[in-house]
Amino acid sequence: MSNLMKEMNFTNSKRLYKKAKGLLPGGVNSPVRAFKAVGGDPFFVSHAKGSKIYDVDGNSYIDYVLSWGPLILGHAHPSVVKAVKEAAEKGTSYGAPHPFEIEIAEMVKNAYPSIEKLRMVNSGTEATMSALRVARAFTGRDRIIKFEGCYHGHADGLLVRAGSGATTFGVPDSPGVPKNYARNTITLPFNDLKAVRDVVKRHYRDIACIILEPVVGNMGCVLPKKGFLQGLRKICDRYGILLIFDEVMTGFRVSYGGAQQYYGVMPDLTCLGKVIGGGLPVGAYGGRADVMEMVAPEGPVYQAGTLSGNPLAMAAGVATLRVLSRKGVFEKILKKAEMLEEGLRDAARRARAKVKFYRAGTMFCTYFTDREVYDYTTAKRADTEKFARFFRGMLRRGIYIAPSQFEAGFLSLAHTDRDIEKTIRAAHDTLKEI
Ligand code: KE4
């Protein structure tokens, strides 16, 4: 039993986790939820409201995970709950076109000028998997470039890491991914434009696309170096390669128009998810009309989904974007993120802690290292044991941050100044303690 369990009452969570482990692999429906990276067992949630999440033992936490990003308005926002209830009264799924699909598509297009046409799907994984297929069909090329530390969901072709040495053939990053499938994925270091240039010069005739998280939220929060995104755009233009921004996490988070608006670099295709579903299952991919017109039934590229454009998910997404797009709302959340950043930097200084803090809009990460983090190799230098102690200390103080050093944290409209002040005090005390 970890220290955490000794100091907090987790009786009901422990009982439920024991039961869950007999039913679900690792007792969870997604690996990171099992708290493996931070020790101890996960708490089970009873409910959530605003910036708070409550477990089945009555413990409450200020939540900076927010279901891994979607809940930018906070949990159970009245407008979202009302929209979902009203939609459910009219039926939970039609498998046929309905007006909400048009409304959310228009809202996304208004926020993302690079998206001329889009397709709704049910997860970020589906969005990136489909975007790759369209890119391969449009270019007639099979290979793709991705970057170490970027996560794009669990489609086979994306669970691939860099092969050994100079080889540009990827190797599976999970059992079950066929070797010959992984060979089509070239994995390079993030922020390394020279590595991209060298590989593209040799292999451009085979390369369909370059896919990346423009700000990487799946190795913490890693920012693109100055000129990196612009350099990728130039390389893609020169060699007829499609540039795909996986903005499943950064979309409506780095800025209302995502990383592409913030950095002023337009991709050919964009993948979205999380925020646009307001907490319900969703994903989307879209971009240049000439590329998206390849998608069935307009074009020959097959992609389908029973629940794609589901009326409840669309209603939650439309309700979320209606609030988020109101004048001053996104800026309000940005101000909260700035307040948290300032406070955490100050707390680290006062605690004489060796940490590095990065933020992109309303997403952030604290690395336990005193050296800059700009790619996977430098991110992996972080002291994960120390992070685990930090996580448990914060949880004991009622603050729930992502249970892994290599995840991002998120702010919502619901986080109050008091929440942030409490978080900063807890961070200072925990940093002193560990
Ligand atoms: P989903 O299939 O989980 O909806 O989306 C996959 C995905 C794609 N692209 C990016 C940039 C993502 O961050 C994700 C999923 N993010 C993780 C958090 N690191 C979801 C949490 C989980 O896997 O349980």
For ligand 1, mutation pick of 24, 67, 151, 246 (most atoms within 8 Å of CB): 151
**CA-proximal residue: ligand 1, atom 20 (nearest):** 68
The pLDDT score that the predictor gives to residue 163 is 77
pLDDT digits (tens, 9 = 90+) for 133-171: 999 999 999 999 999 999 999 999 999 988 776 677 888
Angle at Cα 282 formed by Cα 65 and Cα 334, nearest 5°?
A: 40
Distance of CA 391 to the CA centre of its chain: 19
Strand 363-367 relative to strand 399-400: parallel, antiparallel, unpaired? unpaired
The b-or-e profile of 244-271 (16+ CB within 10 A means b, else e) is: bbbbbbbbbbbbbbbbbbbbebbbbbbb
For ligand 1, mutation pick of 146, 211, 248 (most atoms within 8 Å of CB): 248
The β-bridge partners of 106 are none
Residue type, 341: E
Report how far apart, in Å, the C-alpha atoms of 235 and of each of 213, 261, 421 are: 17, 20, 45
Strand 269-273 relative to strand 242-246: parallel, antiparallel, unpaired? parallel
pLDDT-derived band at 397, boundaries 50, 70, 90: very high
Nearest to residue 409, comparing CAs of 124, 92, 14, 72? Answer: 72
Question: Is 246 an active-site residue?
Answer: yes
CATH topology of domain 3-76+327-433: Aspartate Aminotransferase, domain 1 (3.90.1150)
Kindly report the average pLDDT of the chain as a whole number: 96
User: Coil, strand or helix: which one is 25?
Assistant: helix
Residue type, 48: A
Residue 409 reports pLDDT greater than 90: yes
CB 320 within 8 A of CB 80: yes
User: Coil, strand or helix: which one is 111?
Assistant: helix
Tell whether ligand 1 has an atom less than 6 A from the beta carbon of residue 245: no
Beta strands in 274-427 (DSSP E): 283-287, 356-360, 363-367, 399-400, 409-410
Tell whether ligand 1 has an atom less than 6 A from the beta carbon of residue 213: yes
The pLDDT score that the predictor gives to residue 170 is 85
The pLDDT score that the predictor gives to residue 4 is 47
The pLDDT score that the predictor gives to residue 306 is 98
Report the alpha-carbon distance of residue 2 to residue 382 in Å, rounded.
22
153 C-alpha to ligand 1 centroid (Å): 5
Dig out the tokens for 32 from the structure: 């990171």
Q: Ligand 1, residue 153: give the atom nearest the CA.
A: 6
DSSP character at residue 45: E
The pLDDT score that the predictor gives to residue 54 is 98
69 C-alpha to ligand 1 centroid (Å): 9
CATH topology of domain 78-324: Aspartate Aminotransferase; domain 2 (3.40.640)
The pLDDT score that the predictor gives to residue 164 is 73
**Any long-range contacts for 257-263 (C-beta under 8 Å, 24+ apart)?**
257/111, 257/112, 257/113, 258/111, 258/112, 258/214, 259/214, 259/215, 259/224, 259/229, 259/360, 260/112, 260/114, 260/214, 261/111, 261/112, 262/360, 262/361, 263/214, 263/224, 263/229, 263/230
CB 341 within 8 A of CB 359: yes
Domain boundaries, the chain: 3-76+327-433, 78-324
387 C-alpha to ligand 1 centroid (Å): 21
Report the alpha-carbon distance of residue 275 to residue 180 in Å, rounded.
35
Indicate the range of 176-185, 216-225, 284-293 predicted with least confidence. 176-185
273 C-alpha to ligand 1 centroid (Å): 9
